[in-house]
Structure 1
Amino acid sequence: MRNMISNIDNIIEFIKRSNDFVVTSHISPDGDNIGSTLGIYYSLKKLGKNVYYVLDDNAPLNLRFLVENVTKMSSSDFKALNIENYNLIALDCGDKSRVCVTKEIKEEAVKIICIDHHASNDSYGDLNYIDVEASSTSELVYNLLVRLNKLDNTNIIDEDIATALYTGLVTDTGNFSYSSTHPSSFEMAKELMILGAKRDKIIQSVFQSNSYNYYKLLGEALNTLDIVHGKVACISLTIDMLQRNNMSFNDVDGITTYTRDIENVEVGILLKQKKDNEVKVSLRSKNYVNVSKIAQTFNGGGHIRAAGCTIYDTVENAKVKILQEVLKEI
């Protein structure tokens, strides 16, 4: 715990001494990705820093309410500004290669600060705050801001920051249903609501606003449901299915839960085709299978109960390959 506080204090002191920051996260944005990034973005703004939100990907439809009033830049947009001596803050990204900016932006940063909760993280930052027990990276950002308040009597959490962090918390805990939920998660939720988090807006946008096309795609996806040995469930989504239902690649990760939430199933798998020979695989488990270990077999990573990887092959072959590895663990 002492080490963790020291890491937080080092990051706070570095932020105080520095002026220019790029904040970013991993490819295929999710709630904790965007929530933690915007939590830091708004906080740095309030501290008088120059801060740029750079991400070479788009927010899913159900999370776009968070970025409505934020200028999100591409890597090329940022490079055109010719900013020198900037620092990069990478949030919720366990692998430097998955940080969603160009290699050039990563390499030219004076320092990289990594704030993350993935077990597969190898501490690639110059400054790291990594806690694999945390419910979400948003919880780590919250801890950092609470520590800042304790050190400097500077409570900067306002409605925007509270809303961003609450979104990250509820999405990464499955609205407090996953095993990553701890008593500290509920304490954080309580404090963020007191500080103005728009809970109703978050719940409605994230969990209660799927489009008609989403449900048409879901119906088609469920027709591919395959249960293997009663313990593994698998669903496949192809490019044709996405196009036929006018859905984008980043808007359908919620379908993964339909594989896990079946009686007696231990591991759920969603195969989502991105290109002809590129398939994103999302893995979820209930009780005992470490899906992060399985994902690492394919250079992926994540958490014990939720992880992912990319397999460069057809959907059919990707399914065979991932099932081979999953069945070894069942």
Structure 2
Amino acid sequence: MKNNFIQQIDNVIKCIEENNEFVLTSHVSPDGDNIGSTLGMHRFLNSIGKKVYYVLDDEIPSNLLFLKDDIEKLNSSEFDTKKDYILISLDCGDEKRICTNDDIKKYAKKRICIDHHASNDASFSEVNYIDSEASSTCELVFNLIRRYSELKTIDYIDEKIATRLYAGLSTDTGNFQYSSTSPETFEMAKILLEHGAKRDMLIQKLYQSNSFNYYRLLGDALNTLKVEKTSNGKLVASISVSIDMMKKHSIGFNEIDGLTTYTRDIENVEVGILLKEKRKGEIKISLRSKNDIDVSQIAMQFGGGGHIKAAGCTINDTIENAEKIIKERVLRAF
């Protein structure tokens, strides 16, 4: 745990101790770190006697549903904002991406943000724990629970918390491949395994359980693969997935983010681009880089954000025009 963040952690703990009801949420298009950090935090708050509501106006990808277990997920319309609650957003660096309606944000007694996105300017919450150098938001939740355990001399990390946090740690580091993986990351993984994290089960669920339809979609998606040479001889690759392709193979919008790696992982490709058509005229862009290109800066030009080597944004246009627009900005970055 980094000493310079202990005060931020203690500020979050103070707010938790002074209040009894909490709404937990995260960003749209849920991923492993989103779900793992939120549900790990949910179980921790329940274990210390707090009333916790999990609100997310989006569908959880099928390969992550097992993490939810016995926790009820509410839509915003099912939550009574007359309650005296604190809103905790996890793994969300932009207020516009918080996956609740505006009333839940507006009527919260106070807002806490726990996040690791470099593009987070800490402007939409009163209490913040933000470390852009952390491997994942699960790492921040882990640090928070460890600090609370230290203060109370009780170990609050149980098997379910360990499993949920390990899931987010693994997915947000590319199963420990990405540059955000540090010695602290491996130390955290070690401690979570010692606390019963179901590693073998997680590996199967997260990496070895894609549906047959996913691979049928992958075949169609790879047929859209395009590669262009940059000014310095590197390559930029892109894949486009339309609504019709997803409907054809009965695959949900939140099920296919993993396709981005098929662009980045080509030899000599510096930046990979995945374009997903959410609805007609709304294209979600995922950007991944290998070395020196800061894709978060590109994403921010379109109102998005993220990390240096993994970011996203939305372009409201046809998928063909969105491809031209984002490629032009990416190529300009070289």
TM range (shorter): over 0.9
Moved more, 299-308 or 147-156: 147-156
Report the AA paired with residue 160 of structure 1.
K
Q: Cα deviations across residues 167-209 of structure 1 (Å, max 9, x unaligned)?
A: 0000000000001100101000010011011111111001100
Alignment partner, residue 263 of structure 1: 267
Match of 1:325 among 324, 329, 332: 329
Letter in 1 for 2:94: D
| Matched residue, 1:143 | 143
Number of residue-to-residue matches in the alignment? 328
Q: What is the CA distance between 1:276 and its match in structure 2?
A: 0.8
What letter is aligned with 2:166?
Answer: Y
| 2:218 paired with 1:214 | no
Match of 1:91 in 2: 90
Aligned to 1:53: 54
**Residue type of the partner of 1:116?**
D
- The C-alpha deviation readout for 1:117-170, integer Å capped at 9, x for no partner, is 001101121100000000000000000111111111121110110011000000
Once residues 150 and 134 of structure 2 are traced to their aligned partners in structure 1, the CA distance between those partners, rounded to angstroms, is: 20
What SS does structure 2 have at the residue aligned with 1:274? strand
| Alpha-carbon offset, residue 3 of structure 1 | 4.2
Corresponding residue of 2:157: 157
Q: After superposition, what is the alpha-carbon deviation per residue over 1:189-243, rounded to whole angstroms, capped at 9, x for unaligned? A: 0100110111111110011000000000000000000001151000000000000
Find out whether 1:285 has 2:289 as its counterpart: yes
Aligned to 2:31: 30
* 1:176 and 2:182 matched: no
Q: Percent identity?
A: 59
1:112 matched to 2:111: yes
- Equivalent residue runs for 1:42-81 within 5 Å: 42-79=43-80
Give the Cα separation in 1 of the matches to 2:95 and 2:170.
25
Q: What one-letter code is carried by the residue in structure 2 that aligns with 1:154? A: I
In structure 2, distance between residues paired with 1:138 and 1:277: 34
Following TM superposition, the consecutive aligned residue runs of length 4 or more in structure 1 with deviations greater than 6 angstroms are none
Q: What TM-score does the superposition give when structure 1 sets the normalisation length?
A: 0.98
Whole-angstrom CA distance in 1 between matches of 2:138 and 2:90: 9
Structure-2 separation of matches of 1:152 and 1:304: 37
Report the Cα distance in structure 1 between the residues aligned to 2:305 and 2:241, rounded to whole angstroms: 21
SS of the equivalent of 1:266 reads: strand
Equivalent runs, 1:248-259 vs 2, <5 Å: 248-259=252-263
Deviation readout 1:252-283 (Å, 9 max, x if unpaired)? 00000000000000000000001110000000
TM-score of the superposition, structure 2-length normalised? 0.97
Structure 1: stretches of 5+ with no match in the other structure: none
Structure 1 residue 2: Cα displacement: 4.6
Find out whether 1:238 has 2:239 as its counterpart.
no
